[in-house]
Structure 1
C-alpha cells in the first residue's frame, strides 16, 4: 500500500508547490496521523481513508465518549468515508484506557464502515497508548507484542522526519494548535484606539447618509469626526482589508507566519469595519476565486445610499446586480457542479490577518473575524476547527448571523462544493494529497 500526502501548512488544499510525503504502509499512516491533524490526538478515534488513486482522502476524528453514545458519530464518519473511493480505512483508537474497555467503540466504527463500504475496502483497527501501539486484531506476538510496539517507532521514524523537513509541526493538543494568543499590551492598546476611532467614523458616516438607520447601540458621533457618505466609508474600510491581505501574502512568501507582524492600527480599523454587514460580506466574497467583482459591488452599492439601496432611484438596479454577482460567487463555494477550493495563498493570508485581528483587537470586535475564520476552515474542509471558531464567535456575540448560519451547516454536515464534487466528506478534516 502506498499513499501520498501533499503538505499544506494551514490545513487547506495543497498548492502545486507542496512537497509530497510518501506513505508506504499502515504504520506509515499511523506515524502521519498527528501531522495530518496538526496535534497529538488523545482519547479519540481517528479514521484515515486511502483512496483508489493512492491519496489520503479523509482524516476524521471523534472523541471516545461521543462514540459511547448511540453510534451516530460512527455512522457519520462512515458516511464521510463512503463518499471517498476508499481502498483502505484505518480505525485508530488513541487512549490510555485498557484495550478491553474501548474495543467495542472501535468495533462500532469498523461495523459502520463495513456497512457503507460493502467489503470494497480493507479495514484495519489499531490502538495507540502512551506505552505503544498495536493492531487490535493482531495475534502475532512477533508483529504486535501484548504491550505493543514502542511509540518512538512512529514519532521518530522516516515519516515524521519527512513532515518536519516539509515544515509541518505538531502541537501538544488541539487547544494549543488552534489557540489564538493575545498580542502584546502595546499592540492591543493601539488596535483598541484605532477601532474606537473607526467606529465613531462609521457612526458619523451613517448619520451623514440619508435614509440609513443607525445600528442599535451604535455610539454617538465623537468630536473631531468628519462625516463621509456611508458608501465611501465602506469602500475605504474594505480597502484596508485588501491592503492587509496583500501585505500578509507578500510577507508570508518571505517569512514564517510567526514572524509576520501587521500594523495594529489597521487591524483595529478593520475590526470595527467588520461589524458592518456589507463590509463583512465583501470580505467573505473577496476570498472566493472570481468573487472580487461581487465584493466590489457589495461595498460600491453603499456609495449610492444605504445598505438596502434606498437613497436613490438607481440603487434598486445596483442591489440586483450585487445579488446576482454574490449568488454567482457563493455558488463556487457551495455548488458541487462549479465548486472550487480556496486559493491556498489567499486563504493563508486572510487567515493570518483575521487571527492577528483577534489577537490585537478588544473582545467586543471578535465575533465577525471568528465567524470568517470558521467559514475559511469549513471551506478548507477542517470541520472541527470551523466548529471551534463558530463556538468562539457565538460566545462573543450569540446573535451573530454568519456564525449561526455556519453552525447550521456544520450540524447538517453539509460539505463545501469542491469536497462534494471530489466525493469527500465534510464531517472531517479533508486533505488533498497528490501522487508524486
Structure 2
C-alpha cells in the first residue's frame, strides 16, 4: 500500500495524539520537542527537536513560525518528551511565538515515564498535577498506523541503522561484485568507444568510473551507458515491485551505472511514493560500495520524502552529502526538507513536460534547521 492510499487515522484524545507521534516521525522520540502542524483536518508536517539542543528555543520558535505562516497552518499541537526543566522552556517559547501569530494551539503536552501533563488544561480533575498515566497500546492508533503502512522504530538511531552499510561477509561479497561490475563497465565503454566512428579520432583511455569526458566526446558511449543503465533501473523496479530483491552483482552493476547522471535521472524521473521504491533504494544503500552511495542515497531520500518517511529521508540525504557534499540532487532534497515542503508539490512538477536535472554549483550548503546539526527532523 502506498502512502497516498493509506486510510486516515482519527485522533480523539491526548492519548491518541501521543500514540500517533512515533508513527508520524517513524521512531519513538525521547528528550525531544515535537510540533504537529495541521491544515484543516490533515497533518501538514511534523518537526522534532532535540532537548536540550544546541539551538536556543527562541530561534527554533522563530524558524518554525516562518514555516507555519508560509503554509497558512490552522492549528498546532506540541508534545515534549522529557523532564520539565528541558521541555518547559522550549514549549513556552513556541507557545509565545504561536500566540503572537494568532495560530491556534490544540494542546501542549509533556510526556515522561508513562505519564503526560498538559500546559493548556488547568483542570486538576482532567489533568492532575502528578500527571495522567497513559498506555499507547490501549488506543486504536497503533493498529491503524501499522495497517496504513507506518512503522515506528525504537529511536532515530534505529532509523539510521536500518540503512547502515552491510559489513562482514556481506561487505566482502559486495566488494567482489563491485570489482566485477567495474570490469563490466570498462568493457562496455571500451566496446562502444572502439566501434567504427566514421573517421573520428579515438578517445584517450579513461579511468575506471570516470567516463564523463568520454561521454561528452562520444555519443556512442553515452548511448551505451544510458541503455544499460535504463535497463538496470527498470529491472530493479520490476524486481522490487514484485516483492523480490537484486543479487549482489545486480546491485553492483546498478550502482556503477548510476554514476552516469542520465541513468540517475531516469530512476529519479520514474520515482513514486510506492513503499516498494523505499525498499529498493534502502536495500541498495545498505549494500552499495560506500564511495558510490551518493546517487542511491539521494534517490532513497527523495522516495522516502514522497512517501512520508521524513526521518529516513533526512538520514539518507545526510548519507549522500557525506559521500559528496556538492552532489546536486542531494542538495536539492536537503533544501526541500529544510523548508518542510510537502510531497504534494511533486504533482505540479510532474505536470511539466520534463523535470530538470539539478546542476552542481559552488554555493555553500547553508546550515539546516532540520537534521542533526541543529537537532530537528521533519516528516510529511
TM-superposed CA distance for 1:89, in Å, is 1.6
**Residue of structure 2 aligned with 1:236, choices 228, 243, 254:** 228
Q: Residue 107 of structure 1 aligns with which residue?
A: 92
**Residue of structure 1 aligned with 2:19, choices 31, 34, 38:** 31
**Residue of structure 1 aligned with 2:123, choices 133, 140, 143:** 140
Q: 2-side partners of 1:65 and 1:214: how far apart?
A: 55
Where 1:29 maps in the other structure, the secondary structure is helix
Q: Residue 277 of structure 2 aligns with which residue?
A: 350
Q: Residue 306 of structure 1 aligns with which residue?
A: none
Cα gap change, 1:159 to 1:354, in 2 (>3 Å): closer
Where 1:23 maps in the other structure, the secondary structure is coil
Q: How many residues matched? A: 337
5 Å matches for 1:263-278? 263-278=247-262
Q: 1-side partners of 2:310 and 2:205: how far apart?
A: 36
Where 2:176 maps in the other structure, the secondary structure is helix
TM-superposed CA distance for 1:86, in Å, is 4.0
Where 2:56 maps in the other structure, the secondary structure is coil
Q: Would the aligned equivalents of 1:195 and 1:268 in 2 still touch at CA under 8 Å? A: yes
Cα gap change, 1:161 to 1:406, in 2 (>3 Å): closer
Extract unaligned runs of 5+ from structure 2. Answer: 194-200, 212-219, 349-368, 371-376
5 Å matches for 1:20-419? 20-52=8-40, 54-66=41-53, 68-69=55-56, 71-84=58-71, 86-95=73-82, 97=83, 99-116=84-101, 118-119=102-103, 121-152=104-135, 154-179=136-161, 180-183=163-166, 187-207=170-190, 208-209=192-193, 218=209, 229-251=221-243, 260-287=244-271, 343-345=272-274, 348-380=275-307, 383-411=310-338, 413=339, 415=341, 418-419=344-345
Cα gap change, 1:248 to 1:67, in 2 (>3 Å): same
Cα gap change, 1:101 to 1:371, in 2 (>3 Å): closer
Q: Would the aligned equivalents of 2:159 and 2:311 in 1 still touch at CA under 8 Å? A: no
Q: Residue 328 of structure 1 aligns with which residue?
A: none
Q: Would the aligned equivalents of 1:199 and 1:272 in 2 still touch at CA under 8 Å? A: yes
Q: 2-side partners of 1:82 and 1:414: how far apart?
A: 12
Cα gap change, 1:183 to 1:104, in 2 (>3 Å): closer
Q: Would the aligned equivalents of 2:209 and 2:259 in 1 still touch at CA under 8 Å? A: no
Q: 2-side partners of 1:219 and 1:57: how far apart?
A: 42
TM-superposed CA distance for 1:185, in Å, is 5.2
Q: 1-side partners of 2:267 and 2:204: how far apart?
A: 22
Cα gap change, 1:217 to 1:197, in 2 (>3 Å): closer
Cα gap change, 1:23 to 1:131, in 2 (>3 Å): closer
TM-superposed CA distance for 1:59, in Å, is 1.7
TM-superposed CA distance for 1:165, in Å, is 4.7
Instruction: Give TM-score, length-normalised by structure 1.
Output: 0.67
Where 1:65 maps in the other structure, the secondary structure is coil
Q: 1-side partners of 2:340 and 2:204: how far apart?
A: 35
Q: Would the aligned equivalents of 1:206 and 1:213 in 2 still touch at CA under 8 Å? A: no
TM-superposed CA distance for 1:265, in Å, is 1.5
What whole-Å deviation, never above 9, does each CA across 1:257-314 have from its counterpart, x for those lacking one? xxx4332221111011112222212221222xxxxxxxxxxxxxxxxxxxxxxxxxxx
Instruction: Give TM-score, length-normalised by structure 2.
Output: 0.76
Extract unaligned runs of 5+ from structure 1. Answer: 1-7, 221-227, 252-259, 288-342, 432-436
State whether structure 2 residue 35 is matched by structure 1 residue 14: no
